[in-house]
């Protein structure tokens, strides 16, 4: 079967909660627009629409069987890498090296699927340090080596290495399929709810900018409101995890902080290269990587390592 749904699992309770939140938000913003139309409510409606898209994408991946889930995450890496390579304007003369970057996705996720974690851990660092520069050196292109190598390296790190930690999590040897999917659902939901809460608190109460030169729309009020609400929500959905109460507070708080930093990190990259969004996959909200940056850039590797260390 493609879908691997256990209706007795706690995952389904959270799925129901997610849809109820989205339905409630869509209804509130629809009524708000009817009563008092303005630019803020229009932006909130577009944002809610992007949440619906991401919700269906992630839930399909999570509720599918393990093979389909890994393939979906690999596809996400491919889309993210394509968006990054296009936005960073890599020298086309290095197209053979770009092809190798795409090919690295296959090997990374194949190693993960087979449970060869040592190979998966060391493959991409060796690829970036040895295979990628060697392929570029033997290229006929003589200009822009350092720029292209730097951009390709960071693209592989962000789009392949970081995102692949989602697949690491669901193939963790100490977890059964249900437990791994629960942890993945916990991480994705908590990271996305942090984005939502930071956005809402920032729009309603935001006055003091936190990163005026990197991301002018982010405020201290939005960050702190998201941090507090994410920590509380993380404790409420702790039934998805094996963490105790104190571990839930720690991991939820750190996920909120790292989600903010991950989003800010990508904002700094986009501002440096002069682009607003990396793609146009989600109408009005850029590409897929623009929507999952807070999840995969720092949060996913941290969450996997956090659980791994607890299991030692």
- Give the CA count within 13 Å in the CB-facing half-sphere of 73: 31
| The residue count for the chain | 312
**pLDDT at residue number 105:** 97
At 192, list the tokens: 């996305």
Residues 6+ apart with CB under 8 A from 11: 62, 63, 178, 181, 182, 185, 240
Partner residues linked to 64 by β-bridges: 3
- 19 lies in some domain: yes
**pLDDT at residue number 5:** 47
Number of domains in the chain: 1
**pLDDT at residue number 239:** 85
CB 148 within 8 A of CB 136: yes
- 2 lies in some domain: no
- 3 lies in some domain: no
Which residue range is the domain that position 298 belongs to? Answer: 11-311
Residue with tokens 């990587």: 289
Residue with tokens 């990054």: 84
- 81 lies in some domain: yes
Nearest-angstrom CA–CA distance, 187 and 303: 8
- Flag whether pLDDT at 251 surpasses 90: yes
CB 51 within 8 A of CB 63: no
Nearest-angstrom CA–CA distance, 188 and 274: 29
**pLDDT at residue number 109:** 97
- 1 lies in some domain: no
Residue predicted with more confidence, 102 or 242: 102
Q: Long-range contacts of range 144-153, CB-CB < 8 Å, 24 or more positions apart?
A: 144/91, 147/91, 148/90, 148/91, 148/94, 148/97, 151/84, 151/85, 151/88, 151/90, 152/85, 152/90, 152/94, 152/97, 152/98, 152/101, 153/128
- Residue 246 burial (CB count, 10 A): 8
**pLDDT at residue number 9:** 58
* Span 170-209, pLDDT tens digits: 887 555 555 677 888 889 889 888 888 888 888 889 889 9
pTM over 0.75? The answer is yes
């Amino acid at each position: 079967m493609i879908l691997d749904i256990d209706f007795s699992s706690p995952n389904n309770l959270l799925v129901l909660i997610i849809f109820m939140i989205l339905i409630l938000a869509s209804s509130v913003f629809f009524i708000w627009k009817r009563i008092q139309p303005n630019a803020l409510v229009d932006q909130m409606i577009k944002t809610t629409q992007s949440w619906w898209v991401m919700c269906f994408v992630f839930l399909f991946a999570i509720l599918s069987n393990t093979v389909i889930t890994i393939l979906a995450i690999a596809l996400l890496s491919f889309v993210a890498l394509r968006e990054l390579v296009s936005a960073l304007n890599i020298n086309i003369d290095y197209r053979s090296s770009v092809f190798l970057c795409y090919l690295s996705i296959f090997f990374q996720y194949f190693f993960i699927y087979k449970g060869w974690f040592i190979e998966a851990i060391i493959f991409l660092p060796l690829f970036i340090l040895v295979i990628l520069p060697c392929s570029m050196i033997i290229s006929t292109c003589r200009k822009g080596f350092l720029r292209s190598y730097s951009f390709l390296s960071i693209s592989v790190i962000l789009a392949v290495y970081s995102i692949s930690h989602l697949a690491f999590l669901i193939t963790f040897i100490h977890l059964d399929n249900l437990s791994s999917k629960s942890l993945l659902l916990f991480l994705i939901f908590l990271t996305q709810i942090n984005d939502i809460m930071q956005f809402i608190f920032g729009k309603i109460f935001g006055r003091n900018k936190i990163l005026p030169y990197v991301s002018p729309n982010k405020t201290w009020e939005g960050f702190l409101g998201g941090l507090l609400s994410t920590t509380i929500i993380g404790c409420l959905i702790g039934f998805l995890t094996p963490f105790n109460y104190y571990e839930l507070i720690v991991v939820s708080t750190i996920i909120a902080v790292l989600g903010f930093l991950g989003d800010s990190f990508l904002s700094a990259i986009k501002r440096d290269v002069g682009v607003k969004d990396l793609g146009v996959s989600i109408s009005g909200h850029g590409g897929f990587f623009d929507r999952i940056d807070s999840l995969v850039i720092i949060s996913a590797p941290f969450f996997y390592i956090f659980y791994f260390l607890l299991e030692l």
